[in-house]
Amino acid sequence: MAGKLGVLLLALVLSLAQPASARRKLLVFLLDGFRADYISDEALESLPGFKEIVSRGVKVDYLTPDFPTLSYPNYYSLMTGRHCEVHQMTGNYMWDPDTNKSFDLGINRDSRLPLWWNGSEPLWVTLTKAKRKVYMYYWPGCEVEILGVRPTYCLEYKSVPTDINFVNAVSGALDVFKSGQADLAAIYYERVDVEGHHYGPSSPQRKDAVKAVDTVMAYMTKWIQERDLQDDLNVIIFSDHGMTDISWTDKVIKLDNYINLRDLQQLKGRGPVVSLWPAPGKHSEIYNKVRRVEHMTVYAKEDIPSRFYYKKGKFVSPLTLVADEGWFITENRESLPFWMNSTVTRKPEGWQWGWHGYDNELRAMRGIFLAFGPDFKSDFRAAPIRVVDIYNLMCKVTGVTPLPNNGSWSRVMCMLKDPASSAPGAPPCACALVTVLLTAVCKPSGMPSIPGPLLEMQVLKTWHGAFNNTFKSHGSKEYLVLPAIQRWVSGSLQGQFQAEELNQGPCCSVSRMHSPWARTWTAPDMSDVLGGLEPSDSYIVFINRFSASTLE
């Protein structure tokens, strides 16, 4: 009986799925290295372009990036809604021991291999597959064929785009919106990050870079009006991470002072996060030496904190070194980064004075999020969000159904003019139906404790307030459990179960057991389940007696 009800549940929920909401055009800006306090209330007084956008739209207190707080991991988290360990883009520099291929800040030839990019499907690929037109300007990765798909147009990143390049990209994007050639345009701008690295986050050069962006933002709002796009175009602006000061005189960790670098099979990265692959037979020796070094923390892969959502990544090294804020890890003094002058000689001109990549909970690593347009509230301040949350919002305003992801709809839905608007993908009425069917499937009373065979446990994501029920807490996660099965769940979480995150509807949906979030764990320790669900989210938990095969 339970098996039949489970199949019925799957069929009915999927049959309720409806086309996504009415879509509008979307213009997205990725401002690399733009720290949250660069547009503080005080700073906005001298930034009229940003100030107008804030008054016309939404501004969050800050955006928390994924760990490591580096560019490529967060580029992909922004566009997939998935944590790094899920989408597999775990660093600016990566190495695959199986193929001996390297990803080096996206600039080497092997960086374009599907090996690095096919771990998840970014929004621009989803839209292109849906026959929508996507224009991308200097966006890292737009030149790569991902899952067999390329965007409609990609102006490839080859060097740091100039301010003129930026202005032309904004004007060009608005032109293709006006002509009906584009549904999504995405523009990447790097100068704020570059100046923050070269001169430091508090430098006049970095401040000038922000003012240059501000000028373009002012022009953009004017150009939107001139092209009569204000009723059909939403604009979202975000960054990938922040920036902090570093010092070359007293805050450098030189690894050759502690280990023989020839004992490493591979070393990737420098700065806040360094990845080590010890040579065969050298793991324990190297670990014991580097773990005693001050001002950095050394993690064996299995010991990386779960809150980083990092350790399950395919390309994560056996040893990961994480520096304290402001400290810099390098092989030796000769490997310290310097920047080149703009003359023909290209001689080193100075050390860099700003960096990022540290613990993602540090204040200096926080980024920005702004949005305005016909779907967004005006003059609205929102609570902090996480980098994975933005994907669902972009899916909503473009009218596409999001793929399973780690984002929280509850943290972003308040930004929309219609606060009761459902999450992208399915109608609200599905939730009530699922509630009824779950009660039937799970037997509200008298359910015996399960002795421990491998059962199917499906976790359905819901939003705050969707059900008037209470939280059950297991480990560091909170799950919203239907009252009818609350007692059974709390008494039966013994042995191993298999779990799956489902994030495809306004509050819930059903999917098969094949998702990349499939995990096994020993209950009641659920602190590391599902590849990174947020403690602030709520979930419905139900356990079925039928196996996954009955859902095929």
Q: Catalytic residue, from 21, 71, 77, 509: name it.
A: 71
What pLDDT, on the 0 to 100 scale, is given for residue 354? Answer: 96
Query: Is 275 among the residues known to form the active site?
Result: no
What pLDDT, on the 0 to 100 scale, is given for residue 348? Answer: 52
What pLDDT, on the 0 to 100 scale, is given for residue 21? Answer: 52
Element (H, E) at 173: helix 163-178
Nearest partner of 502 among 7, 151, 3, 10, judged by Cα: 10
What pLDDT, on the 0 to 100 scale, is given for residue 392? Answer: 96
Residue 87's Cβ-count burial label (10 Å; 0-12, 13-18, 19+) is buried
**Tokens linked to 357:** 């990549």
Number of H helices, E strands in the chain: 14, 29
Spell out, as residue ranges, where the chain has pLDDT lower than 50.
1-20, 343-347, 426-552
What pLDDT, on the 0 to 100 scale, is given for residue 23? Answer: 84
Q: CA torsion 293→299→300→301, rounded to 10°?
A: -150
Q: What is the CA radius of gyration of the chain?
A: 24
Question: What residue type is assigned to position 448 of the chain?
Answer: P
Instruction: Say which residue the tokens 């100046």 belong to.
Output: 195
What pLDDT, on the 0 to 100 scale, is given for residue 351? Answer: 79
What pLDDT, on the 0 to 100 scale, is given for residue 338? Answer: 72
Domains of the chain, start order? 22-82+120-246+358-415 (3.40.720.10), 252-350 (3.30.1360.180)
Instruction: Give me the phi and psi of 534, to 5 degrees please.
Output: -80, 140
Residue 335 is classified by DSSP as G
Neighbours of 536 (CB within 10 A): 12
What pLDDT, on the 0 to 100 scale, is given for residue 419? Answer: 58
- Alpha-carbon gap, residue 447 to 83, rounded angstroms: 36
Q: Rounded to whole angstroms, what are the CA distances from 113 to 103, 107, 118, 431?
A: 9, 12, 9, 41
Neighbours of 15 (CB within 10 A): 10
**Tokens linked to 337:** 């980064």
Q: How far is CA 539 from the centre of its chain?
A: 20
Under 8 Å between Cβ of 48 and 208 = no
What pLDDT, on the 0 to 100 scale, is given for residue 336? Answer: 82
Question: What residue type is assigned to position 145 of the chain?
Answer: E
What pLDDT, on the 0 to 100 scale, is given for residue 163? Answer: 95
Q: Helices (DSSP H) in 229-384: which residue ranges? A: 283-290
What pLDDT, on the 0 to 100 scale, is given for residue 425? Answer: 57
Nearest partner of 73 among 99, 103, 110, 114, judged by Cα: 103
Global pTM value: 0.77
- Alpha-carbon gap, residue 398 to 130, rounded angstroms: 11
Q: Rounded to whole angstroms, what are the CA distances from 359 to 151, 241, 365?
A: 33, 11, 8
